[in-house]
Amino acid sequence: DTASQTEDFTGTGGETRQVAGGDRPTMTTAQGIPVSDDQNTLRQGARGPALMEDFHFREKMFHFDHERIPERVVHARGYGAHGFFETYEPLTDLTSADIFQRKGERTPAFVRFSTVAGNKGSADLARDVRGFAVKLYTQEGNWDIVGNNIPVFFIQDAMKFPDLIHAAKEEPDRAFPQAQTAHDNFWDFASLSPESVHMLMWAMSDRAIPRSFRFMEGFGVHTFRMVNAEGKSHFVKFHWKPKQGLQSVTWDEAVKINGADPDFHRRDMWNAIQSGDYPEWELGLQVFDEDFADSFDFDILDATKLIPEELVPVQIVGRLVLNRMVDNFFAETEQVAFHTANVPPGVDFTDDPLLQGRNFSYLDTQLKRLGSPNFTHLPINAPKCPFHSFQQDGHMAMHNPKGRANYEPNSWSGEAAGPRENPAKGFTSYPEEVSAPKVRERSETFADHYSQARQFYISQTETEQTHIRDAFAFELSKVETPAIRSRVLSHLQHVDMDLATSLADALGMELPDKADAAREPLTGLEPS
């Protein structure tokens, strides 16, 4: 009886064998067959050929061979933790979302922080935007706020996203640089897309090299809606404010840390939570209505713009606490699937053309990445409230409908009838009126690419401004094509003349004509 053998012993092959007994369970195959020997394949004679009959070996190797799934096409490197969200006060005037109806209520949460451009094994301290994705397991379904640590984005229309990411990731012929913006393709794309200038200012600032995930802000970026029980809608921007404060490292520190400990941000989160020092963020809302939205000199549907907090103060409505690391990185952090379209009743979308595109992309990519439409059955993705539908079958189905009915309407009664739609409680889209010709064009109201970039720059301290200048100088010094550097300089003259002049100096270049930025795109450059 192997269960009674508690001593490790050396087998005939000289290997150390650890056998079941005491509190050590008996190892089994995936079929539950007890395993007697996990060290040696079944052979014809101790020195003979392996036998096909060895089902334990075949199953073990087959499973190992299939361990990898595709990494995320962006945000591949990330780190997650569990926690809860606590509602400070009911927000019934603003939203019917169940999570905001009761003071002090705690809702389970899972958060995944990430870099954007680097591959899964890249270093934590890359100069990059950080993802800040929050899954709230509310009593009316999962609500995902799939945000970043910077309040604006590079592009205005989802159509440009594949190009942005192709340009930012490693170049297709040489497969480097990984996880860096310091290369020709990225700056070529960015300089030909003036809408990216505001985000470039943030990306070159200290915000893009946070000291750790615990010291970052988070932003939903897009304007969303909240709708109350009477059907009244308000526009909302989401903010996460770290109770730990906001801290970054300098570039020199980042480079050293990457060399010494590329897992620095992971280790920081693990150590903090394991030692009971739970990081916290407060959820803040900027709330405004349609009339107020029309009074801004930019468009609230444009994700390259933020709403200045002086105009619409951030109202704090709850807190997020992370207090438990995952049991298993792959099962939870790797398989979690966030999606901007996961919103509960009381939260709704706007026509931001970036958000609209994201609402298509996430579900699509997750089917590829997780391999089955049933990825919502995985414990990390499944709602923690009751859920019922007639969706069935497919790879790995674990929640098929029970009983007779798998369609509706049906005439059955009781449990056999299955779930029914619920007009009173169910999600209803805000009945926004839209009447316009079908066109493929960018709104005029999206045209000002420089004003907020300038406001951001002049809001920085002198030291922070120097860091921005130095970051541009470092990144552009890696760009081999002078015409691309020059085009960036011509954009920056529209942001701040001193910045552009001192950057030209640092790069040893003449300041180009300010109007170059508006001229025809560069073409015909010979790649090096």
CB closer to ligand HEM out of 131 and 177? 131
Nearest-CB residue to ligand HEM? 131
User: Is residue 161 part of an annotated ligand binding site?
Assistant: yes
Residue 324's identity, in one-letter code, is: R
Which of 362, 391, 406, 454 contacts ligand HEM by CB under 6 A?
Answer: 362
Which of 87, 148, 149, 156 contacts ligand HEM by CB under 6 A?
Answer: 148
Which candidate, 166, 124, 130, 163, places its Cα nearest to that of 147?
A: 130
- Choose, from 56, 82, 148, 239, the residue flagged as catalytic: 148
Within 81-120, which residues bind ligand HEM (CB under 6 A)?
112, 114
Which region among 94-102, 321-329, 352-360, 430-438 touches ligand HEM (by CB under 6 A)? 352-360
For the chain, the farthest-separated pair of C-alpha atoms sits apart, in whole angstroms, at 86
354 binds ligand HEM (CB under 6 A): yes
122 binds ligand HEM (CB under 6 A): no
Which region among 11-19, 153-161, 286-294, 520-528 touches ligand HEM (by CB under 6 A)? 153-161
Which of 337, 471, 479, 517 contacts ligand HEM by CB under 6 A?
Answer: 337
Which H helix or E strand runs over 111?
strand 106-115
How many CA atoms does the CB half-sphere of 327 hold within 13 Å? 3
As a whole number of angstroms, the distance between CA 231 and CA 235 comes to 13
365 binds ligand HEM (CB under 6 A): yes
CB closer to ligand HEM out of 74 and 321? 74
Please list the helix, strand and coil fractions of the chain in percent, rounded to the nearest 5, in that order.
30, 15, 50
Inter-residue contact 494 to 511 (CB < 8 Å): no
161 binds ligand HEM (CB under 6 A): yes
134 binds ligand HEM (CB under 6 A): no
State the residue for tokens 């002078």. 482
Cβ neighbourhood burial of 502 (10 Å; 0-12, 13-18, 19+) = middle
Which candidate, 230, 243, 201, 190, places its Cα nearest to that of 83?
A: 243
CB closer to ligand HEM out of 161 and 270? 161
CB closer to ligand HEM out of 141 and 357? 357
Within 383-422, which residues bind ligand HEM (CB under 6 A)?
none
Is 377 annotated as catalytic?
no
Which region among 180-188, 230-238, 336-344, 380-388 touches ligand HEM (by CB under 6 A)? 336-344
DSSP-assigned states of every residue in 391-451: ---STT---PPPSS--SSS----GGGG-----TTTS-----------------GGG---SH
Is 119 annotated as catalytic?
no
As a whole number of angstroms, the distance between CA 43 and CA 62 comes to 18
Other residues' Cβ atoms within 10 Å of the Cβ of residue 178: 14
How many CA atoms does the CB half-sphere of 125 hold within 13 Å? 22
Which region among 225-233, 278-286, 359-367, 399-407 touches ligand HEM (by CB under 6 A)? 359-367
Q: Which residues bind ligand HEM (CB under 6 A)?
A: 72-75, 78, 112, 114, 131, 133, 146-148, 153, 158, 161, 221, 303, 336-338, 354, 357-358, 361-362, 365-366, 369
Catalytic residues: 75, 148
Specify binding-site residues for heme.
72, 112, 161, 358, 362, 369
